[in-house]
Structure 1
Amino acid sequence: MNLKINSRHVEVTPGMREHLEAGFAKIRKHFDHVIDASAFLIVDKAKEKDLRQTAEITIHLKGKELFAQAHHSDLYHAMDAVVDKLERQVVKHKEKIQDHHHEKHLD
């Protein structure tokens, strides 16, 4: 899987990259058919402190694209929150695929 990290008003450190890669490892445990992913880390001067740090992630799957966004006062917490959101989306997508392809015939 190819992971691309972009940022605005913040420099992506090796620690940030490792933190995101660890999050993607959790997602890959559930669903291994991820083609590529792109993350966008943003630090803005929002009036509310909780909305200053933003993490956005888009995952490209075969025939589907999943997107999640999270805001927090700490960028690492925002990254954790967005990974958790995507993890739930991936699990839901995987269940839909499995249910669709394996319909049960009731007698």
Structure 2
Amino acid sequence: MKISVQSVNFNISQDLVNYIEKKVNNLEKFHDHIIGAEVFLKVQSTSEKENKIVDVKMNLPGIDIVAKKQSKTFEEAASLAIDSVKRQLVKRKEKLRA
């Protein structure tokens, strides 16, 4: 599976890239035909605080699964988004079996 991690308007640390790649690679357990994944990291500045946004897009044959989550840290937002993608992958695989 090909994983692309991109940051928008800031530099990303290698530790964060490794963390995200490890979490995304674990999704292969839940669906056999994952082609690739794209992860976008964004910082949204508001008047009160900065919010970290993580978009995860999984490429499957014939469909893309997308999740977008927001949190105080990239690690937490990535974890939430990847959990959401995992639920969608399991649901899709169960539909294919039926």
Q: Over residues 34-92 of structure 1, what are the superposed CA-to-partner deviations in whole Å (9 max), with x where a residue is unaligned? A: 1111110001212353x710000111101111000000011110011101000001010
User: Which secondary structure does the structure 2 equivalent of 1:28 belong to?
Assistant: helix
Give the number of equivalent residue pairs: 98
Q: Which runs of 4+ in 1 moved over 6 A?
A: none
Identity of aligned pairs, percent? 26
Structure 2 match to 1:16: 16
User: Which secondary structure does the structure 2 equivalent of 1:44 belong to?
Assistant: strand
* Rounded Cα–Cα distance in structure 1 between residues aligned with 2:4 and 2:74: 17
Structure 1 residues not aligned, in runs of 5+: 100-107
TM-score by length of 1: 0.84
Structure 2 residues not aligned, in runs of 5+: none
TM-score by length of 2: 0.91
* Rounded Cα–Cα distance in structure 2 between residues aligned with 1:2 and 1:48: 37
Quickly say closer, same or farther: Cα 1:47–1:89, change in 2 above 3 A. Answer: farther
